[in-house]
Structure 1
Amino acid sequence: MNGEHDAPRRQRLTRAEAKARTRTLLLDAAARIFARKGFTGASVEEIAEAAGFSTGALYSNFNSKEALFLELLSDRQNDRIAEAARALDSHEAGSGEAAAELGRLLIDVADKDIDFAPLQAEFWLYAVRNPQALETMAAKLREPRRALEQVISTSLAERGAPEGVPAETVATVVAALFQGLVRLRRLDPSSVSEELFAQALTWLFAGIDAAGTPTGAEDD
């Protein structure tokens, strides 16, 4: 009898669990609606309806459509960085195998994550024309950038990079390289092979090893 009475209690979500579930459902619905209608064409009303909630529930979790989109963007970047970290963890530092796996990750993003790419471009243009949105976007994306810095910092330490090489600067270059090659791959697939990102990373880290502390790092 006690087990029967306890079962409903076990199925009840705590407030934190319920809030997390609501956010997940809203983000899933937003991803579908944004992919179909674009950032500008999508409305908070249809996103909330698709998730099975009221607009009030949406606004209690995200204060604007911009915030909802930026949460999606941040989640995507965090997922990619987590994949990169797993690739580096599973291979010996400097072996080339990790770089090759990162190259495959780039190709997967460029060739398969095609729904989100136009959304990123659309929102970037929107943000450039709206300074407040641009500031919000920059602030939101600092979290995945910090995660990337941790991955880079670990990688630099494991390969015995010279002291004073700023992981933050290297992370900025790696992120720009990744994003640029993804866009070029989508524009002209034949120009970006699966091996190119791995080769570019090899050149980057070989240059760091050869040059030591980058110019200006002493002043940091």
Structure 2
Amino acid sequence: MPKIEETESKDLTRRKILEVARRIFALHGFEGASVDAIVKASGLSKGALYWHFPGKLELFREIMGEEARRILGHFEIPLEMKGEFDPVRFLVEKGGTLIDEFSNNKERRLLWVDLTVVAQRGDPQSKNLAGEMIDRVLDAVLPELERTFQGSTAGEAGLSPRERLICLTHAFGGLVVNLGLRLRAEEAKRYWEAMVRMLLEEGCRNEKS
């Protein structure tokens, strides 16, 4: 087999493993999923899976890493927006889009819930991934938010711009966990907008006063 075709074949095999594993992790959780189940559902050999991934945990981390990169893409601020950045509008719109995505894709929602469970059970890399998500959103949005709040005080809540963003990331996680249980997407978006406005508009008012 020519080298290019061999590389393409390996890439297709790897992608198939990830797609099947993603579905099984979502259905059964990390603890309930098994390498044997992934191998059987993919129609590949166990050797093929281990060629690409050392084990189940590494496979789970790769899947969640892809999810993290996709979500972080939502929070990249285009260059043309910088200088005229409206943090309230930006976060309301981006958060609303993500809420719709999580609501319409139960598989994606279950994966994020399970990441929290795995991290809580002590896997250090899952903890790092969950923490990195928050840090990278802060890195993307915080500089523009601080420019918007320049000269403002901590406000009645006594929170800095960074602390306000951290509160919002945790609030967003709570909304996602409850989607499909006691919370519909439209309700979640309303609550998200209310929280963004409560936490950020105070800072904007302080800056203008």
Could you tell me the TM-score, scaled by structure 1's length? Answer: 0.67
In the alignment, is the contact (CA less than 8 A) between 2:168 and 2:195 conserved in 1? Answer: no
* Residues 53 and 170 (structure 1), Cα distance of their counterparts in 2 relative to 1, 3 Å cut: farther
Give how far 1:20 is off.
5.3
SS in structure 2 at match of 1:70? helix
Give the equivalent residue in structure 1 for 2:71.
80
Whether 2:199 is the aligned partner of 1:199: answer no
Whether 2:166 is the aligned partner of 1:175: answer no
SS in structure 1 at match of 2:54? coil
Whether 2:96 is the aligned partner of 1:104: answer yes
Identity among equivalent pairs (%): 24
Instruction: Name structure 2 gaps, 5 residues minimum.
Output: 155-159
**Residue-by-residue CA offset, 1:127-163 (whole Å, 9 max, x unaligned):** 53x43x2x22112334433321222224325535459
Give the equivalent residue in structure 1 for 2:105.
113
Matched residues, number: 199
In the alignment, is the contact (CA less than 8 A) between 1:109 and 1:182 conserved in 2? Answer: no
CA distance in 1, matches of 2:48, 2:146: 45
**Residue-by-residue CA offset, 1:166-206 (whole Å, 9 max, x unaligned):** 74x45432321111122234332269342331232222223
* Residues 85 and 123 (structure 1), Cα distance of their counterparts in 2 relative to 1, 3 Å cut: closer
In the alignment, is the contact (CA less than 8 A) between 1:29 and 1:50 conserved in 2? Answer: yes
What CA RMSD, in Å, does the superposition of the two structures yield over aligned residues?
3.9
Give the equivalent residue in structure 1 for 2:182.
188
Which of 60, 64, 82 aligns to 2:55? It is 64
In the alignment, is the contact (CA less than 8 A) between 1:88 and 1:155 conserved in 2? Answer: no
